[in-house]
Amino acid sequence: MLLCIPSGTLAANLHRPPVFSLVRDDPSVRRITILSPYSSETGFVQEFEHPKVDFGCLTPGVPGWLERRFIRVMQVKFVKTMPSESMRIRLARVALIERESRREERYLDRGERGGTMGLAKSIAMKTLTSLRI
């Protein structure tokens, strides 16, 4: 079995619930190879270490301009549809930051995306995120 784990979030989502151990311990799974940019980090390897598990290096991807825009639209749509109170709070915080600083803020990555958010960009994002995708 080949697992691609390009981010820490995916690693946590796979490892914290018993998903990984259930798959790993299934007798029909003979080998698991994990490809990750973290495969050389001791803590990451220790989390998934097992006689059935091998590790391989995965070069971190750097999204281009269009891919970053698509990811941003999907993040906005995801956050706006989350029913949890914590996501509503995060959404309100980001809206406040963007209004006050006119800078685009990441929703899920907890850091600024960079660059000022001009009027055209703001209108384009509102239009794209209002579409039913």
Per residue in 75-129, pLDDT tens?
777 766 766 777 778 777 777 877 777 665 554 443 444 455 567 776 776 777 6
Top pLDDT among 66 and 36 is at 36
- pLDDT value of residue 94: 73
Indicate whether 74 and 101 sit together in one domain.
Answer: yes
Indicate whether 10 and 38 sit together in one domain.
Answer: yes
Indicate whether 69 and 122 sit together in one domain.
Answer: yes
R_g of the chain computed on alpha carbons: 19
Of 18, 33, 57, which residue constitutes the final position of a domain?
57
The number of domains in the chain is 2
Q: What is the mean pLDDT of residues 16-33?
A: 92
Q: What is the mean pLDDT of residues 10-31?
A: 90
SS3 107: coil
Give the model confidence (pLDDT) of 36-50 as tens digits.
999 999 999 999 999
Closest CA to 38 of 71, 17, 14: 14
What is the domain range of residue 15? 2-57
Of 10, 33, 57, which residue constitutes the final position of a domain?
57
Indicate whether 51 and 72 sit together in one domain.
Answer: no
- pLDDT value of residue 100: 77
Of 24, 41, 57, which residue constitutes the final position of a domain?
57
- pLDDT value of residue 44: 92
